[in-house]
């Protein structure tokens, strides 16, 4: 138990940890206020036995109880506030820390780990720490503290009864320790089923169009239903596993109270204990374990807290790329790769690649699927670190830049566009919160999306669904280009930027891309002939190597992948029904 407390407090930020510590100090004060009820009872019982219940005695008892209640309420209020601030603060800070750490992780991490897993950690796991952990940690410590302080007070009244209380507390902790060991085995399964459930829900929702179009509703729903049932069974198993232990814990506390009463009566009858102490202890037996019983019920979740901390820490412990670097303004925007190797897991993706890309030129990258085109562009922008060799921007290794200063130099237009659940204006000015509306509209006009935006109910203030779900593929693509125009970076990476554009809008969008890319260093991954024909140079990438390089006319004279690529495209374009 103590190891879990130590791990949890070490996981918290210093400010939040200090709030938890202050809440624990308040817990000691609250326990003392609870213990003050005993001398108040003692005073009144003594007066009743002596038949001397005076106004003074009543006021003294009332004063002690009033002091106990008022101070206890104030301490409880402050303790609750501190717990809430520390608990929710820890969850919020760790979500931010995980998000920041994920910026440092290579893209390979996101390929290996599903969106459901990441979502589960940042939602379920953090929610466990914000709600469950705070309540569990504080209630268990509060219960033990309160019982311990009352036990010390009873030791002062009669060491024999105090010893019974200590023995009862030790037996309680022994049973609780067995429950913790059992919880250690079943709690990780709960977190696992929670993660799988989130994954299946997201998978079902995101793929609902494909599920319906292929009439797979039944089989896909079965997977989701299985995840729900498995999670339900796990939660039931968790509860049924703990119920016997909690029953024994409660039996220990109740039986200890009964033994306290019987022993007090016996000692009184043997003239070994005064009547006042006997009555006081009998009444105290009903109070001493109430907070401990509550602590025992919640302590079954300590292993869930432990597993939640481990799960979040696993992400934070993942080795990230060094993105600190320096804030560098490159001398120029030439891009150079020198003898670059890169492998994803054990598969070689890029092998001994060396290229020089002059600034303000357009480089088209073509080749078979899986040849390494996208990986090449991602290495240039340092989405991954190379295994060997170097990538330079303006004669400076990209590793020497801080990530923020490096990203200022790049804009991206991907084939699969992601838009945020926000207004269209904020999606266009993404990363530039204070950009004036005039700039937003100017970028939208250049990207040929101003007209359709103005037709929406709220214009630029229209809130679009998560991922841009309420817009067509072409509309999302144009907003993405408007976003890149807003950023106005010197290096542009286009990954099939016109892939999702309607034919009737393609001409305008190509013109917009030309406006975006004028006097820029351009990398474009493309399969359309008209997109690559006018490039300053074309790189043909296959199996991680540049197998051909040159302008369109030069490559057409060579018998190779590029000419076959062009011929296939021209044949497809000339095909008619």
For the chain, domain boundaries: 2-316
Lowest mean pLDDT among 4-8, 377-381, 447-451, 486-490: 4-8
Q: Which of 233, 250, 251 is nearest to 295 (CA)?
A: 250
Task: Work out the burial of residue 485: count CB atoms within 10 Å of its CB; fewer than 13 is exposed, 13-18 middle, 19 or more buried.
Answer: buried
Residue 215 binned pLDDT confidence (cut-offs 50, 70, 90): low
pLDDT of residue 13: 83
Residues 42-52 have a mean pLDDT of: 80
User: Does residue 371 or residue 472 have the better pLDDT?
Assistant: 371
pLDDT of residue 298: 66
Give the integer Cα–Cα distance in Å for 263 and 311: 49
Q: Is the pLDDT of residue 106 over 80?
A: no
pTM score, two decimals?
A: 0.63
pLDDT of residue 341: 92
What value, to the nearest 5°, has the Cα angle with vertex 206 and ends 309 and 106? 50
Q: Is the pLDDT of residue 177 over 60?
A: yes
Token pair for residue 277? Answer: 């102490």
What percent of the chain lies above the pLDDT cut of 90?
A: 3
Residues 141-165 have a mean pLDDT of: 78
Token pair for residue 19? Answer: 């709030």
Q: Is the pLDDT of residue 509 over 80?
A: no
Q: Is the pLDDT of residue 468 over 60?
A: no
- DSSP states of 317-374: TSPPP----B----SS--EEEEEEEEEETTEEEEEEEEEEE-TT-EEEEE-STTSSHH
Q: Is the pLDDT of residue 100 over 50?
A: yes
Asked if 175 contacts 248 with a C-beta cutoff of 8 angstroms, the reply is yes
Give the integer Cα–Cα distance in Å for 187 and 125: 12
What pLDDT digit, counting tens, does each position of 262-285 carry? Answer: 998 998 888 888 888 788 778 777
If you average pLDDT over every residue of the chain, what do you get?
79
Residue 220 binned pLDDT confidence (cut-offs 50, 70, 90): low
pLDDT of residue 392: 92
What pLDDT digit, counting tens, does each position of 245-265 carry? Answer: 888 888 888 888 888 889 989
Taken as a whole, the chain contains a residue count of: 577
Residues 296-310 have a mean pLDDT of: 71
pLDDT of residue 291: 66
Residues 502-513 have a mean pLDDT of: 64
Token pair for residue 273? Answer: 């204990």
Task: Name, in order, each residue with C-beta under 8 angstroms of 440's C-beta and a sequence gap of 6 or more.
Answer: 425, 428, 429, 460, 482, 486
Asked if 124 contacts 198 with a C-beta cutoff of 8 angstroms, the reply is yes
pLDDT of residue 575: 46
What pLDDT digit, counting tens, does each position of 438-466 carry? Answer: 888 888 888 878 888 888 888 888 888 65
* Domain 2-316, CATH number (from 1.20.1560.10, 1.20.810.10, 3.40.50.300, 1.10.1060.10): 1.20.1560.10
pLDDT of residue 232: 86
Give the DSSP letter of residue 441. H
pLDDT of residue 311: 80
Distances 311 to 90, 203, 413 between C-alpha atoms, Å: 15, 22, 34
Work out the angle between the directed axes of helices 159-206 and 290-299 (0-180°, nearest 10). 30
Q: Is 401 helix (H, G, I), strand (E, B) or coil?
A: strand
The arrangement of strands across the sheet holding 537-542 comes to 410-413, 491-495, 521-525, 362-366, 537-542, 545-550
What pLDDT digit, counting tens, does each position of 523-576 carry? Answer: 888 766 666 777 888 888 888 888 888 888 888 888 888 888 877 766 655 544
Asked if 193 contacts 200 with a C-beta cutoff of 8 angstroms, the reply is no
pLDDT of residue 188: 72
Give the integer Cα–Cα distance in Å for 493 and 495: 7
Token pair for residue 339? Answer: 């003898």
Asked if 151 contacts 165 with a C-beta cutoff of 8 angstroms, the reply is yes
pLDDT of residue 319: 79
């Amino acid at each position: 138990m103590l190891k879990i407390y130590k791990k949890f407090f070490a996981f918290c930020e210093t400010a939040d940890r200090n709030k938890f510590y202050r809440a624990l100090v308040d817990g000691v004060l609250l326990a003392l206020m609870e213990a003050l009820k005993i001398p108040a009872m003692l005073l009144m019982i003594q007066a009743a036995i002596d038949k001397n219940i005076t106004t003074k005695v009543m006021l003294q008892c009332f004063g002690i109880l009033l002091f106990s209640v008022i101070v206890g309420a104030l301490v409880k209020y402050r303790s609750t506030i501190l717990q809430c601030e520390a608990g929710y603060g820890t969850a919020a800070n760790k979500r931010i820390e995980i998000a920041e750490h994920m910026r440092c992780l290579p893209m390979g991490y996101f390929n290996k780990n599903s969106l459901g897993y990441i979502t589960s950690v940042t939602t379920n796991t953090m929610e466990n720490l914000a709600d469950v952990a705070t309540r569990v940690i504080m209630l268990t410590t509060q219960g033990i503290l309160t019982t311990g302080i009352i036990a010390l007070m009873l030791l002062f009244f009669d060491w024999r009864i105090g010893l019974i209380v200590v023995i009862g507390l030790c037996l309680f902790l022994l049973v609780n320790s067995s429950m913790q060991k059992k919880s250690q085995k079943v709690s990780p399964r709960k977190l696992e089923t929670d993660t799988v459930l989130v994954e299946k829900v997201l998978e079902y929702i995101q793929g609902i169009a494909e599920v319906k179009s292929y009439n797979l509703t039944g089989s896909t729903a079965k997977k989701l239903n299985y995840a729900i049932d498995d999670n339900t069974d796990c939660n039931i198993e968790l509860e049924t596993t703990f119920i016997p232990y909690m029953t024994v814990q409660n039996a220990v506390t109740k039986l200890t109270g009964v033994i306290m009463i019987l022993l007090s009566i016996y000692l009184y009858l043997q003239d070994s204990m005064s009547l006042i102490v006997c009555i006081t202890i009998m009444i105290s037996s009903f109070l001493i374990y109430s907070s401990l019983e509550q602590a025992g019920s919640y302590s079954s979740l300590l292993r869930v807290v432990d597993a939640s901390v481990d799960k979040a820490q696993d992400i934070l412990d993942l080795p990230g790329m060094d993105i600190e670097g320096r804030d560098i303004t490159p001398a120029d925007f030439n891009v150079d790769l020198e003898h670059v190797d890169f492998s994803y897991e054990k598969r070689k993706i890029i092998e001994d690649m060396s290229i020089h890309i002059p600034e303000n030129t357009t480089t088209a990258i073509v080749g078979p699927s899986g040849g390494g085109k996208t990986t090449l562009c991602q290495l240039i922008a340092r989405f991954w670190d190379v295994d060997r060799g170097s990538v330079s921007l303006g004669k400076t290794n990209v590793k020497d830049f801080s990530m923020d200063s490096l990203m200022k130099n790049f804009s991206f237009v991907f084939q699969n566009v992601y838009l945020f659940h926000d207004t269209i204006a904020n999606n266009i000015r993404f990363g530039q919160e204070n950009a004036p509306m005039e700039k937003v509209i100017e970028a939208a006009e250049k990207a040929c999306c101003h007209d359709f935006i103005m037709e929406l109910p709220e214009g630029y203030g229209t809130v679009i669904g998560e991922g841009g779900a309420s817009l067509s593929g072409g509309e999302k693509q144009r907003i993405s280009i408007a976003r890149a125009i807003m950023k106005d970076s010197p290096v542009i990476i286009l990954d099939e930027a016109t892939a999702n554009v309607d034919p009737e809008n393609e001409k305008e969008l190509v013109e917009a891309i030309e406006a975006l890319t004028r006097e820029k260093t351009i990398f474009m991954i493309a399969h359309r002939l008209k997109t690559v024909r006018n490039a300053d140079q074309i790189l043909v990438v296959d199996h991680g190597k540049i197998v051909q390089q040159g302008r369109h006319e030069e490559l057409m004279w060579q018998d190779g992948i590029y000419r076959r690529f062009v011929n296939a495209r021209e044949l497809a374009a000339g095909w008619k029904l």
